Amino acid sequence: MRFPSRLLASQLFFAGLVWAAFYAVVTLITVGIAVFGTLTNSVWESATQVPRWFALFAGVAMIREFLPLYIAHGQTRRQFGAQAAVTVALYAPALSALLVLGYLLETLLYNVAGWPQELARPHLFASPTDVPLVFLEYLVEFLAWIVAGTFMAAAFYRWQGGGLLSIPLGIGLVVLGEAAIGTELRLPFIRFPLGVVSTPTVLTVLAGGVGCSLLGLAMTWSIIRDVPLRNRLA
DSSP reduced 3-state for 109: helix
Q: Which residues of the chain have pLDDT under 50?
A: 1, 188-189, 195-198, 233-234
Query: How many CB atoms sit inside 10 A of residue 49's CB?
Result: 10
Does residue 94 form part of some domain? yes
User: Could you tell me if residue 80 is inside a domain?
Assistant: yes
pLDDT at 72: 86
pLDDT value for 185: 58
- Domains of the chain: total: 1
Q: What is the structure's pLDDT at 233?
A: 47
Torsion sign (Cα): 96, 98, 101, 106:
negative
Residue 75 falls inside a structural domain? yes
Neighbours of 169 (CB within 10 A): 15
Q: Does residue 234 lie in a domain region?
A: no
Structural domain of 161: 5-30+55-224
Asked, for residue 150, whether it belongs to a domain, the answer is yes
Q: Is residue 26 part of a domain?
A: yes
Burial class (CB in 10 A: 0-12, 13-18, 19+), 171: middle
Contact 22, 95 (CB under 8 A): no
pLDDT score recorded for residue 217? 95
In a domain, 157, yes or no: yes
Q: How far apart are CA 68 and CA 97, in angstroms?
A: 30
